[in-house]
Structure 1
Amino acid sequence: MVIELKEQELLRLMPAIRRARDFHLYDTSGKRYLDLYQEGGRAWLGHRPDGLSLQLKNILSRGVYAPYPGSEEGKLYKALKALLMILPGSSEFSHIRYYSSVLGGGLPEAADPLYSKADRKPGLCTLWRPGLQWPHDAINVEMLIPLPGLAYGRVIASRDDSLPQGDLPSPVVAGGLARCVWVLKNCLETAAPVGELDLLEGAPWKQKGPYCLYTGNADNYKILFSKALSAGILLPPSLDSPCILPGHLTSGDVSLVKQFFGGLS
């Protein structure tokens, strides 16, 4: 019988986290953890993306948190269009919608090519993760934007204009997303591919770009998660989330990862 891993159950095994910097978390005792979970990809740019804190502070100071029409929505769509311009194969996806619901637009949850073995079919909503190729054969693509800590619903780019009208975003969400999109665009234009490191390639891991999937026995994953925490590494708390290699690793990070994963049987 396969044990169903519950994300919150494993996250509760963590100590209280006091602060975060880049891809590292620090507990109340000062111990540092290398974050290979990254909030399922929401912290792909790190836990403190450049300029995000100041952006949110400025928006919050205006006192408008509710999803009313405002300038931040236009800034978000401008940033998203600029990002699409640099992604090969995305030029035809000129229609962008924001939905506050995880089932926004009437579309089902997006299929993740990291896990889905079936061929993508026309009309299927496909998930795009930063660091992977754009799914140019899809019709509707959900974009995973690295905005840590804020649940923002869905951002979907489409080939046509058949999707329902999008929702009004909160200025806080729209402003945070826009800032992270610009940081992401700069990162993708200048950073070397993380996947070249191939740190986790080999049983029980399968790597695709910066993402690594656990292919071992699910019954043993809770034990593995606890061992990783003891070693100073945060693994995904669910098999539905991949390990994510950070955009930059210190020499100490590389040694830690090689030592821990190299010692697994």
Structure 2
Amino acid sequence: MITEEYYSEISARFGEIKRARGTFLYTEKGVRLTDMYLENGRAILGWGNGNGTNGTGAFLKIKNIINRGLTGSFETDFQKQLDKAVSDLLRAECRALVYFDTAKAEKAALSFSTRLVKYVPWVGLVHENEIVKDFECVLITPPLPWTDNLYVLAVRNDITALFYPERVSGAILGGLSRSIYDLIAELPCRGEKNWFLYDVYLKEYFTREGPYLYPKMQEKDYDDFVKHCLSCNIAISPDYNVPSIIPYGADKGVFTLLKNNPWKV
């Protein structure tokens, strides 16, 4: 199921989303959906995006920067803040380049390296599904549920190359840097003890790797499972190849409907 069909399905069933908080979406018809898609991982810290599932750190910072009028394409000190944030995350001195297009971000990455290395929270650096330790550059999907096509490319400072970053407002740069620091703060707070609690409800349908859930059923059956989960007030990833995510902090009772009405092919 493509994303557009997925959101149309949600709207048809529950009406528009009126509020998002933590790992929940609150709908026009008064239904609370447990969000396990989390904007393809961009809301992995929760809707609100700060320390914990209900924080608002990054968006508060964006608001404060906007109030200072720093929304233009001129240079600000927020680029340095973002450079430091990605350097602290990767534990290597890096320069952060921001892109608003997947293809541009990946093309830029491959201009610095022969391989495309991605950063996956609670997993590490990944290249073609294999964990790696060294890198020339790393593509980061920021934990900022603002837009689905915003990427940060961290390039090591010891790489000699010409940089052609896209012009980005200080508000976006500041929000990105804060979201990455929010992630850094949250990394040691979540682990296996938080994720395995949900296995009893999900192990029949998913293989879990850390907080990420990979479907066990065949791809041809997956759309039916997505719709079944929606009927149980659970919004999983609409894409068979994109993992769903454990709803950190949610009460296990959110899976009661699924437990009482198990899915069968």
**TM-score bucket of the superposed structures, by smaller chain:** 0.7 to 0.9
Residues 97 and 55 (structure 1 numbering): CA distance in 2 closer, same or farther, change over 3 Å?
closer
Distance 2:106 2:122 in 1: 27
Report sequence identity in percent.
Answer: 24
Mapping for residues 139-150 of structure 1, pairs under 5 Å: 139-150=136-147
TM-score, with structure 1 as normaliser: 0.79
Gaps of 5+ in 1: 86-90, 111-121
Mapping for residues 165-184 of structure 1, pairs under 5 Å: 165=163, 166-184=165-183
Distance 1:243 1:106 in 2: 23
Distance 1:130 1:43 in 2: 12
Q: Which amino acid aligns with 1:78?
A: K
Residues 223 and 125 (structure 1 numbering): CA distance in 2 closer, same or farther, change over 3 Å?
same
Q: 1:127 aligns with which of 108, 118, 132?
A: 118
Distance 2:245 2:173 in 1: 25
Q: Does residue 42 of the first structure (1) align with residue 38 of the second (2)?
A: no
> Is the partner of 1:213 in helix, strand or coil?
strand
Q: Which amino acid aligns with 1:178?
A: S
Q: Does residue 217 of the first structure (1) align with residue 213 of the second (2)?
A: no
Who is 2:129 aligned against? none
Distance 1:83 1:106 in 2: 20
Residues 230 and 62 (structure 1 numbering): CA distance in 2 closer, same or farther, change over 3 Å?
same
Deviation readout 1:136-178 (Å, 9 max, x if unpaired): 1444321222100234632223454145413332222211111
Who is 1:117 aligned against? none
- Conserved in 2, the CA contact under 8 Å of 1:152 and 1:173? no
Which segments of structure 1 move beyond 6 Å, counting only runs of 4 or more? none
Q: Which amino acid aligns with 1:70?
A: T
Q: How many residue pairs align between the two structures?
A: 242
Distance 1:260 1:80 in 2: 44
- Conserved in 1, the CA contact under 8 Å of 2:32 and 2:233? yes
Mapping for residues 1-12 of structure 1, pairs under 5 Å: 5-12=1-8
Residue 190 of structure 1: how far off its partner (Å): 2.7
> Is the partner of 1:67 in helix, strand or coil?
coil
Q: 1:161 aligns with which of 154, 159, 162?
A: 159
Q: Does residue 62 of the first structure (1) align with residue 68 of the second (2)?
A: yes
Deviation readout 1:1-42 (Å, 9 max, x if unpaired): xxxx32211221012100011000000122101100000010
